[in-house]
Chains A and B, each alone.
Chain A
Amino acid sequence: MISRRSILQGATALGGLAVADLAGWTKAWAQSAMHKPEAGAKLQLLRWKRFVQSEEDAFLKLVAAYTKATGVAVEVLNESLDDVQPKASVAANVGSGPDMFWGLYSLPHLFPDKCLDVTDVCEAVGKKYGGWAKSAEVYGKSGGKWVALPVAYNANLINYRISAMKEAGFSEMPTDTDGFLALNQALKKIGKPGGMALGHASGDGNAWVHWLLWAFGGNLVDKDDKVIINSPETEAALEYGKKLFEAWIPGVASWNDAFNNKAFLAEEVWLTNNGVSIYAAANRNAAKGDAKAAKIAADMDHSFWPNGPVGEPTEFHIAYPLLGMKYSKYPNAIKSFMEFMMAVENYEPWLEGAVAYLSHPVKGGDDFAFWGKDPKLAPAKPAAFRTRTAGHDGSVGEKAAAALADFIVLDMVANACSGRESIKGAIRIAERQAKRLYR
């Protein structure tokens, strides 16, 4: 669905390439492209519902340009973040549905046999941009073949209020777990607590509990997919998590992905983990004349996650792989669309439209000019290079996806932090469930 209204909005919202230039360029592109779409092809693309309006506008503009260049109409369908996967699963299961799915994490690994082989497209993209991030290869490849195009990452960062941090006695965000805990405890003392989601929040919740587990050297499985969650490292992580939880605002156990945004904007929490959508919302409201939002936008910042005893970043960012389905009648059109999308003339303006909500998975993306514009967004830039992948050392396939969907780690942390289970008890439950998945 491309409504005229949103294209117009997109055109005004973005400077980008002048329309005439673009037309000339697309014609040239269509001549030189690797893949020629089938005659009469049309595509359906189901993707997650946009996080920021300007991203959707930029994307629809890209789609319109593609249609102009190739004559292939692309219908873009939106589904909320959590509903893309069930829809893709059903479609893969019955062998019919949209031609392309743009989902989360390891979506292509739930049904790699049903995904179109896009090795040539991805290798070309990698070459053009100076190589893929390691995590992108893990998410995109199955059995040596690329089964999905890891288009972008959604950085999950510490969002905090500068003034509150200073008031708590810290001049900058601590870079280690001890300092981070001290900050959270100090924030509680001054009545400006932090908080992170412990409800079944697939985005923010999974992001922070995996950071916690990994930061202390805990892991669900080893590289042979053997379940090793029952370890002293996991216990240490949970001990630490419990202390964090006690320093936070009450109620985090009920939070899903939306709660912390609201609470942060209402000045109920002063530190949380999120993408850059809180900042974007604050800026948006500030532009509408909301003084409180303007104050929050000016006073907030993002930072990397602190490193734990393992001594390296253990962040967990959301990957957004785009996959074509084998059942599609127009495989070449799918590949040609992927190619078009990743051409720098299209990819960069689109990514800019996402105002750092999305980060590039290729080395060349570091050179995109827009990253320099707002230093507060800079921590989102290297997301693809700092993130670990679902299941970390283990395989990234359906087992890791199922472990995420079942919230095994999240429930373990929630059980232990709240004291509903002893630390050992929480681990044992997680271990049993994990063993079942990884049998």
Chain B
Amino acid sequence: MTDESAFKPAAQPAPPEARTQAKADHREGMEHLETPLSRTVTLWIPLGIIMLVLLFPFYWMTLTAIKPDSELIDLKTTNPLWTWNPTFKHFYALLFETEYPTWLWNTMMVAIVSTILSIMASVGAAYAIVRLKYKGANYVGAAIFLAYLVPPSILFIPLSTIVTSYGLYDTPFALILTYPTILIPFSTWLLMGYFKTIPFELEECALIDGATRWQILTKIILPLAVPGLISAFIFCFTLCWNEYIYALVFIASPDNKTVPVAIVTSFTDGDVFRWGSIMAGALVGSLPLVVLYTFFVEHYVSAMTGAVKE
């Protein structure tokens, strides 16, 4: 946390709250009074229990992926919590005998493109709502919030009419263009909060100097809002990666499928689930996100901070 600035592109000025935050972690002024025992009881034990519960299903998935098939439903002769005969054949089969790399690539591509599209749209929307004083800006903000009311499970029949009438059915564009409906409301909301933290005086100065709105947005606001953008990006990316219903309905050919859908359809043979392969697929499919989060979790936290602080 203290070396947070290392993540930041050096050329950009840090937003004001990043500085407060760097200090924030050393705030635990009272904690040096704690004894190791009370620290164990109040911090490590509860944290350990929560972590255990959060991670156990993940451990279980990993174990399932590397267990030989014969041990999977055998709770009597082997210890189900461990395996002495790990096998990587599920991973091997996944990577070399299916089109998994294609699915991974599809998911990545769809997620990145629709995330970028949504963020571009949201930047415009959020900036307009926050800074351009026009009548009804508040209503537009409310309307975007209300957009969350629409459950995707029923949208997809009408949406599929649109998707097919533009000839997008079974193409990546079907997803790239529909995912923003889920993403824009959230990222707009997040960026609105973030833009509000940027001092208005900066813009006024620029306006006096004769800068256009567009220049202000690209030269002043966006560089300052980088943490907010990262945070929005991560969140949108995760939502895309997870999405199931649209991907199931709008995509038919295996070449265009995304990871969650492809895994479920490819590794169930009628009423037989191939657990090992499904779990291996889930793990490999989560890897890109795990990497993303390991690198950016601190940014995510700090960016959310900016978004909610106002």
A2 to B254, CA, bound (A): 11
Asked whether, in the complex, the Cβ of B252 is within 8 Å of the Cβ of A77, the reply is yes
Is there a chain B Cβ closer than 8 Å to A23's Cβ? no
Given A86-B249, A87-B252, the answer on whether A261 and B272 have CB atoms closer than 8 Å is: yes
Known: A97-B164, A261-B272. A46 touches B97 (CB 8 A): no
A285 touches B70 (CB 8 A): yes
CB atoms of B164 and A258 under 8 A apart: no
Give the residues in chain B near A257, CB-CB below 8 Å: 270-271
Instruction: Give CA–CA (A204, B270) in the complex, Å.
Output: 12
Chain A positions within 8 Å of B272 at CB level: 51, 258, 261, 277, 281
| Distance between Cα atoms of A46 and B231 in the complex (Å) | 40
Q: A-facing mask of B168-181, CB < 8 A → 1, else 0?
A: 01100000000000
- Asked if B109 is an interface residue, CB under 8 A from chain A, the answer is no
Residues of B within 8 A of A422 (CB): none
0/1 per residue, A212-250, Cβ < 8 Å to B?
000000000000000000000000000000000000000
A266 touches B73 (CB 8 A): yes
B157 proximity list for chain A (CB < 8 A) = 90, 93
Inter-chain contacts of B269 with A (CB < 8 A):
49-53, 277
In the complex, chain A residues whose CB is within 8 Å of the CB of B34: none
In the complex, B265 has a CB within 8 A of chain A: yes
Instruction: Check A90 against B268 for contact (C-beta < 8 Å).
Output: no
Q: Which residues from chain B contact A261 at a C-beta distance below 8 Å? A: 271-272
- Across the two chains, which residue of chain B brings its CB closest to A257? B271
CB of A81 within 8 A of CB of B270, answer yes
Instruction: Chain A residues near B215: list those with CB within 8 A.
Output: none
Q: How far is the CA of A31 from the CA of B73 in the complex (A)?
A: 53
Min C-beta distance of B50 to chain A, whole Å: 28
Q: Return the CB mask of A39-69 against B: 1 if under 8 Å, else 0.
A: 0000010101111110000000000000000
Residues from chain B with a CB closer than 8 A to the CB of A5 are: 97
With A90-B157, A96-B164 already in contact, the answer to whether A258 and B273 are too (CB < 8 A) is yes
Give Cα A81–Cα B268 distance, bound, in whole angstroms: 10
A83 at the interface (CB under 8 A from B): yes
Q: How far is the CB of A167 from chain B (nearest CB, A)?
A: 20
Question: Can you name the residue of chain B whose Cβ is closest to the Cβ of A56?
Answer: B269
Q: Is A78 an interface residue (CB 8 A)?
A: yes
B242 within 8 Å of A (CB atoms): no
* Bound form: Cα–Cα A9–B217 in Å: 59
Query: Quick check: is A391 within 8 A (CB to CB) of the other chain?
Result: no
- Chain A residues whose C-beta falls within 8 Å of the C-beta of B31 in the assembled complex: none
Quick one: CB contact mask for B81-117 with A, threshold 8 Å, 1 for yes?
A: 0000000000000000100000000000000000000
In the complex, which residues of chain B have a beta carbon less than 8 angstroms from the beta carbon of A77? 252-254
**Among the listed A75, A79, A90, A274, which residue makes an inter-chain contact with B271, where contact means beta carbons less than 8 Å apart?**
A274
CA–CA, A5 and B99, complex, Å:
12
For A78, list chain B residues within 8 Å (CB).
254, 265-266
B243 close to A (CB within 8 Å): no
In angstroms, Cα B246 to Cα A86, docked, is 12
Residue in A closest to B268 when the chains form the complex, CB atoms: A80
Bound Cα distance A46, B163 (Å):
19
- A50 to B248, alpha carbons, bound, how many Å? 18
Q: Max chain A CB contacts within 10 Å: which of B164, B165, B270?
A: B270
Q: Determine whether B74 belongs to the interface, using a CB cutoff of 8 Å to chain A.
A: yes
Q: From known contacts A1-B255, A53-B269, infer whether A90 and B97 are also in contact, taking CB-CB under 8 Å.
A: no
* Interface contact B165-A94, CB-CB below 8 Å: yes
Q: Is A113 an interface residue (CB 8 A)?
A: no
Given contacts A1-B253, A77-B252, A262-B73, contact A204 B271 (CB under 8 A): yes
Known: A51-B271, A266-B73. A83 touches B265 (CB 8 A): yes
Contact of A94 among B69, B97, B160, B266 (CB under 8 A): B160
**Contact of A203 with B by CB under 8 A:** yes
* Contact digits for B123-164, partner A, Cβ 8 Å, 1 yes 0 no: 000000000000000000000000000000000110011011
Query: Which of A46, A265, A274 is B73 in contact with, Cβ under 8 Å?
Result: A265
What string of 1s and 0s marks CB contacts (under 8 Å) between B230-261 and chain A?
00000000000000000011001111000000
Q: Is the CB of B248 within 8 A of A83?
A: yes
B41 to chain A, nearest CB (A): 39
Does A299 interact with chain B (Cβ within 8 Å)?
A: no
Which chain A positions have C-beta within 8 A of B248?
83
Within 8 A of B (CB), among A74-124: 75, 77-81, 83, 86-87, 90, 93-98
A281 to B275, CA, bound (A): 14
Find out whether the CB atom of A94 lies under 8 angstroms from the CB atom of B161. Answer: yes
| B283 contacts chain A at the CB level, 8 A cutoff | no
The yes or no answer to B182 lying at the interface (CB within 8 A) is: no
With A96-B169, A257-B271 given, is the CB distance from A49 to B252 under 8 Å?
Answer: no
29 A–B contacts, CB within 8 A, in A order: A1-B253, A1-B254, A44-B252, A49-B269, A50-B270, A51-B269, A51-B271, A53-B269, A75-B253, A78-B265, A80-B264, A80-B265, A87-B249, A90-B160, A90-B249, A93-B157, A94-B163, A95-B164, A96-B169, A97-B169, A97-B170, A203-B271, A257-B271, A258-B271, A261-B271, A266-B73, A285-B69, A285-B70, A290-B70
Given contact pairs A48-B270, A90-B249, enumerate 13 new A-B contacts (beta carbons under 8 Å): A1-B254, A5-B97, A49-B266, A49-B270, A51-B270, A75-B253, A78-B266, A81-B270, A87-B249, A257-B270, A258-B273, A266-B73, A292-B70
